[in-house]
Amino acid sequence: MSKQAQFEQSILEGYSPKGEFIIMGAAMLDGQAITGAHVKIPLKTMNRHGLIAGATGTGKTKTLQIIAEQLSQQGVPTLLMDIKGDLSGIAAESAGHVKIDDRHAIIGLPFKKRASPVEILTISDQAGVRMRATVSEFGPVLLSRILDVTETQAGIISVVFKYCDDNKLPLLDLNDLKKVLQYATGTGKDEFQAEYGRISTSSTGAILRKLVELEQQGAELFFGERSFEVKDLVRKDKNGHGYVNVIRLTDIQDRPKLFSTFMLSLLAEIYSTFPEQGDADKPELVLFIDEAHLIFDEASKALLNQIESIVKLIRSKGIGIYFVTQNPTDIPEGVLSQLGLKIQHALRAFTAKDRKAIKLTAQNYPISEFYDTAEVLTSLGIGEAFISALDEKGRPSPLAATLLRAPESRMDILTDRELDDLIADSPLTDKYNETINRESAEEILQAKIEEAHADDIKEKAQQERAKTSSSRSRRTSTRQNPIIKVLTSASFIRGVMGILGKALK
């Protein structure tokens, strides 16, 4: 049997799932695609997480687009982090091109122009369905890890949450949390100390500075009401196609703290909300995190441990997480080891450091008798990638250099008019874009402080009036009436007695 025949047989055997699947393209050998030797990924393994990596301009975003629209066609909703602002075109069908037709003829797949149902979301000032979360929903443990506080400071945050629960004080936004911290070491110091122990002003000051740092990255836009319900991420249209939820994040690229805060809170909310799914035929929801290094670059050790734990556990809820980045080394090893599907676009070797990184990357993939993995990594073209997937039994499929299919949706972005119309037509816009500012901890404690201040003023006034009244009383008792003074004088009494004596004689 020839080398090509052996290769084709290994692809057909390794990528022939029995259930539903998505087709990525045709396998390549020696730079040539083999028509009909399709690389297929079982839908039931899409909750095993994955990685899409490669140098800038090699086609990572288009690969993400291909997978998202294929999942949508299979009724699986997705959530896409649009850091660069180039994913909105999924809502419109492809314009088509002769080069696309040529590529699909080589792959052996018909090309269809199709749009996907898309929801535009936002956590910043950009237009879209607003995504918010309350401070209470974060909870003290997650908030402490995001703020990267000390163990003592984390204890104080837990006490603050307990105080708010005990006294029915809603913690909605960061102003609520700041007000409680200030109250605990100010007006309410005695109350806190009696019930929960003494709280150090230096510790609360440190926590407040961390909160200000988070606010400076725009977190005040994210914390508050109305809180976004994650069940709205798993909607389907009338045709049973899963919604592609695109979160616009182009204006927070320089605010990694806000991005990681949002992502971790979202993952935690999804994990706590979704039920255990078991071994289902397809995932409930798939998340794609573009520019994934933004999460990990500035994350504390505690935060990294939290992310790793969620990645390990969340797949049992039917949730798949896919990280999109330039190099696999951007992902911590503890997370990288959990990723079942790996799609590696070309890497460029401009320096000795680059060549070393390519060798390390090659070691992340199964050994293949058909490829010199490190060498092929530098020669892959745009729209070509190494793929290593899992079969239905969780076994790695053969490594396949793949000529990827083209996206069925538009490879350009929506116009401003199209984007505005899409957002305006969404039923979620009316549901979440109303600003709600109900009474919460800040207002309740402010009223309590003002009441205490008014009571202090009233008490001081009463004390002052009592002091004045007492002073007047003392002055009155020491000052005798002139008539009484005359009538009680010794000379006046002697005169009266003398007159009485003469009268008796």
Q: By CB neighbour count within 10 A (0-12 exposed, 13-18 middle, 19+ buried), where does 93 fall?
A: middle
Identify the pLDDT of residue 454.
Answer: 66
**Contact criterion met (CB below 8 Å) for 351 and 305:** no
Range with the lowest mean pLDDT among 132-136, 335-339, 355-359, 467-471? 467-471
Give CA separation, 120 vs 163, 170, 261, in Å. Answer: 38, 29, 20
**The total number of structural domains that make up the chain:** 2
What is the number of residues in the chain?
A: 505
Model confidence at 333, pLDDT cuts 50, 70, 90, reads: confident
**Residue 351 has which token pair?**
């320096």
Residue that wins the pLDDT comparison between 353 and 116: 116
Model confidence at 162, pLDDT cuts 50, 70, 90, reads: very high
422 in a domain, yes or no? Answer: no
Identify the pLDDT of residue 283.
Answer: 95
Is 184 in the same domain as 308? no
Is 94 in the same domain as 156? no
Q: Which residues contact 111 (CB under 8 A, 6 or more apart)?
A: 96, 100, 101, 104, 405, 406, 408
Is 127 in the same domain as 139? no
366 in a domain, yes or no? Answer: yes
Is 80 in the same domain as 209? no
Model confidence at 453, pLDDT cuts 50, 70, 90, reads: low
Of the ranges 25-29, 54-58, 267-271, which is most confident? 25-29
Is 217 in the same domain as 266? no
Is 402 in the same domain as 384? yes
Angle at the Cα of 373 from the Cα atoms of 367 and 375, rounded to 5 degrees: 155
* Cα–Cα dist 489/477, whole Å: 18
The percent of residues in the chain predicted with pLDDT above 70, rounded, is 89
Identify the pLDDT of residue 387.
Answer: 95
Whether the model clears a pTM of 0.85, i.e. scores above it, the answer is no
Is 127 in the same domain as 140? no
Average pLDDT over residues 178-207: 88
Q: Is the pLDDT of residue 411 over 80?
A: yes
Q: Give the residue from 120, 91, 93, 125 showing the smallest Cα distance to 424.
A: 120
Residue type, 491: S
Average pLDDT value for the chain: 86
140 in a domain, yes or no? Answer: yes
Is 313 in the same domain as 287? yes
Q: Is the pLDDT of residue 127 over 70?
A: yes
**Contact criterion met (CB below 8 Å) for 26 and 37:** yes
* Cα–Cα dist 110/232, whole Å: 33
Give CA separation, 275 vs 72, 283, 307, 315, in Å. Answer: 21, 12, 19, 11
Average pLDDT over residues 345-353: 85
Average pLDDT over residues 61-83: 95
**Residue 18 has which token pair?**
């029995």
Average pLDDT over residues 191-220: 87
Is 119 in the same domain as 141? no
Residue that wins the pLDDT comparison between 328 and 77: 77
473 in a domain, yes or no? Answer: no
- For the segment 306-330, what is each residue's pLDDT rounded down to a tens digit? 788 888 889 999 999 999 998 888 8
Is 253 in the same domain as 359? yes
* Cα–Cα dist 383/374, whole Å: 18
Model confidence at 365, pLDDT cuts 50, 70, 90, reads: confident
Helix (H) or strand (E) holding 25: strand 21-29
Model confidence at 126, pLDDT cuts 50, 70, 90, reads: confident
Range of 208's domain? Answer: 135-221+438-445
432 in a domain, yes or no? Answer: no
- CB atoms under 10 Å from CB of 113, counted, come to 14
Residue that wins the pLDDT comparison between 251 and 157: 157
482 in a domain, yes or no? Answer: no
**Contact criterion met (CB below 8 Å) for 441 and 179:** yes
101 in a domain, yes or no? Answer: yes
89 in a domain, yes or no? Answer: yes
Is 234 in the same domain as 214? no
Q: Is the pLDDT of residue 305 over 90?
A: no
Average pLDDT over residues 404-415: 95
Identify the pLDDT of residue 39.
Answer: 96
Is 70 in the same domain as 186? no
Q: Is the pLDDT of residue 141 over 90?
A: no
Residue type, 426: S
Identify the pLDDT of residue 488.
Answer: 58
Of the ranges 195-199, 345-349, 387-391, which is most confident? 387-391
The percent of residues in the chain predicted with pLDDT above 90, rounded, is 47
Range with the lowest mean pLDDT among 37-46, 213-222, 311-320, 473-482? 473-482
Among 392, 422, 445, give the residue marking a domain's end: 445
Of the ranges 8-22, 90-104, 117-131, which is most confident? 90-104
Q: Is the pLDDT of residue 181 over 70?
A: yes
Q: Is the pLDDT of residue 345 over 70?
A: yes
Q: Is the pLDDT of residue 91 over 70?
A: yes
Q: Is the pLDDT of residue 109 over 80?
A: yes
